[in-house]
Structure 1
Amino acid sequence: MATDDLSEDQKSELFKLAKDASKLSYSPYSRFPVGCAILTAEGQIITGCNVENSSFGLTICAERTTICKAISEGKKQFKAIAVHAPAGGLTYPCGACRQFIYEFGPTIWIYVVDQEDKYTKSMIKELLPNGFMLSDHIK
Structure 2
Amino acid sequence: MSDVTELIRLATEARDRAYAPYSNHPVGAALRTPSGRVFSGCNVENAAYPVGNCAEQAAIAAMVLGGEQRIEEIVVVGPGNAPCTPCGACRQRMREFAGPDMVFHACNDRDVLLTMTMEELLPESFGPENLK
Answer yes or no: is 1:56 the counterpart of 2:33: no
Q: Percent identity?
A: 34
Distance 2:4 2:63 in 1: 18
- Assess if the C-alpha contact under 8 Å between 2:43 and 2:54 holds in 1: yes
SS of the aligned residue for 1:52 comes to: coil
Answer yes or no: is 1:134 the counterpart of 2:124: no
Answer yes or no: is 1:17 the counterpart of 2:17: no
Where does structure 1 lack aligned partners over 5 or more consecutive residues? none
Answer yes or no: is 1:47 the counterpart of 2:40: yes
Deviation at 1:59, TM superposition (A): 1.0
Distance 2:55 2:13 in 1: 12
* TM-score of the pair, normalised by structure 1: 0.89
Deviation at 1:37, TM superposition (A): 0.2
Tell me which residue corresponds to 1:125.
Answer: 119
Between the two proteins, the alignment pairs up a number of residues equal to 131
Where does structure 2 lack aligned partners over 5 or more consecutive residues? none
Tell me which residue corresponds to 2:105.
Answer: 111
SS of the aligned residue for 1:56 comes to: coil
* TM-score of the pair, normalised by structure 2: 0.93
Distance 1:30 1:57 in 2: 9
Distance 1:43 1:114 in 2: 22
Distance 1:87 1:63 in 2: 18
